A and B are shown apart, each in its own frame.
Chain A
Amino acid sequence: MALLEVNNLDVRFALRGGDVRALRDVCFTLDRGERLGIVGESGAGKSVAAFSLLNLIAKPGYIAGGSIIFDGKELSGMKDRGLRRVRGNRISMIFQDPMMTLNPVLSIGEQMVESLKAHRRISTREARAIALHKLNQVQIPSPETRLDQYPHELSGGMRQRVIIAIALLLDPDIIIADEPTTALDVTIQAEIMDLLLELCDKHNVGLVLITHDLGVVSQVTQRMLVMYAGRVIEQGPTREIINGPQHPYTQGLINALPQMATPGSRLNQIPGSMPSLSNLPSGCAFHPRCGFVNDANGAPRKACLDKVPGFVDSGNCRVACHMVAELVNQQQRDSREEVL
Chain B
Amino acid sequence: MSDTIVPGRWARFRDSYLLYSFKRDLIAQVSLVIFALLIFAAVFAPWLAPANPYDLAQIDILASELPPFWIDGADPAYLMGTDAQGRDLLSTILYGARVSLIIGFGAVLMQAVIGVSFGLMAGYLGGRVDAFLMRLADIQLSFSTLMVAIIVGALVKAIFGGATFSEYAVPLLVLIIGLAEWPQYARTVRASVLAERSKEYVDAARVMGLKSRRIMFRHILPNTLSPIFVISTVQVANAIISEAALSFLGLGMPETHPSLGSLIKSGFDYIQSGSWWITLIPGAVLVILVLVINLLGDWLRDVLNPRLYKG
Contacts and interface: CB of A to CB of B under 8 A. Distances in A.
A335 interface: no
Contacts of B200: 95-97, 100-101
Interface of B: 1, 3-6, 126-127, 199-201, 203-211, 214, 218-219, 222-223
B194 to A, nearest CB: 13
14 contacts: A54-B207, A84-B210, A87-B206, A87-B207, A87-B208, A101-B203, A102-B204, A103-B222, A105-B223, A106-B222, A114-B214, A142-B1, A142-B3, A149-B4
A100 B199 contact: yes
Contacts of B4: 142, 145, 149, 153
B1 A141 contact: yes
Nearest to B208: A88
Contacts of B209: 83-89, 115, 118-119
Contacts of A102: 201, 204
Given A101-B201, A105-B223, A115-B210, 16 more contacts: A56-B206, A59-B127, A92-B208, A93-B204, A95-B200, A97-B200, A100-B199, A104-B201, A114-B208, A118-B208, A118-B214, A141-B1, A149-B6, A153-B4, A163-B204, A166-B208
A100 B223 CA distance: 13
A148 interface: yes
A104 to B, nearest CB: 7
Contact of A88 (B199, B207, B219): B207
Nearest to B6: A148
Interface residues of A, number: 34
Interface string A155-168: 00000000100100
Contacts of B1: 141-142
A166 to B, nearest CB: 7
Interface of A: 54, 56, 59, 83-89, 92-93, 95-97, 100-106, 114-115, 118-119, 141-142, 145, 148-149, 153, 163, 166
B229 to A, nearest CB: 14
Given A100-B199, A100-B201, A118-B214, A56 B207 contact: yes
Contacts of A89: 209
Contacts of A166: 208
Nearest to A90: B209
B203 A103 contact: no
A84 B211 contact: yes
A145 B210 contact: no
Nearest to A116: B208
A105 B208 CA distance: 17
* Most B-side CB within 10 Å, residue of A85, A87, A166: A87
